A and B are shown apart, each in its own frame.
Chain A
């Protein structure tokens, strides 16, 4: 027990917690969690980035809190406790944003509710934080939030570019003069089903590169 506590903060094991969600343990493409919000917030790059940051913060901090309390949480009401922690965190973050960074809070608006229902949060609390120490749990939360955010940013980049012809609000296609050659924005890309197709393409790409992920 004592040996373990002297483990360096960024040991190989902890670093793996941070990097694995980007690759072979990605919450969206491999665990297929958090799909609902991935469809809703990826129309434009900006809300996707805001959402990615908020989910990362909330996952990391609630992981930390649950891991710190894990020995005192009665098994029978653990899900309720996890939900209370997540909901409290989200409301606190929302209140602070409203008071001090009003513009960001306007961006976040509906996504606050979506964070609470994000399956990644509950998934990480239940699967990881309940059985691990606070620090690794914190890292795990950051890793998973960022892994989720990465997919969000990739999907929203293509959806915004193809659907609205802009990148982060900057009208790229208009500046390049592509519309003169008869190109028209693809309105269908803006609609939610296309997010699913983009996520599907990413999953396809990832599995073709990493055969280990293909189910038998």
Chain B
């Protein structure tokens, strides 16, 4: 019996560890299921943009890019990479393109 004590004790200790591990796993599993399935159970869903809003966002991105191009052209003029004549022609063209994007944005928003 004296030899049996350590083994029993060890086995009990191992079993208690296993039970603790099992409890942890079950708790984690529950948490994962709760978190992942929350939107399906009527929980708060971050409202994703609709297709129309996606189009607007796309046009906004294009507008930003066009404005960046206008700013770059202006910087190129100021730092001597573009002559005044070249810049005037380029700026006019870029602004015309920006106008088209703005028109499309207005259409998408209306």
Q: Do A and B come from one complex?
A: no
Residues in chain B within 8 A of chain A (CB atoms): none
Residues in chain A within 8 A of chain B (CB atoms): none
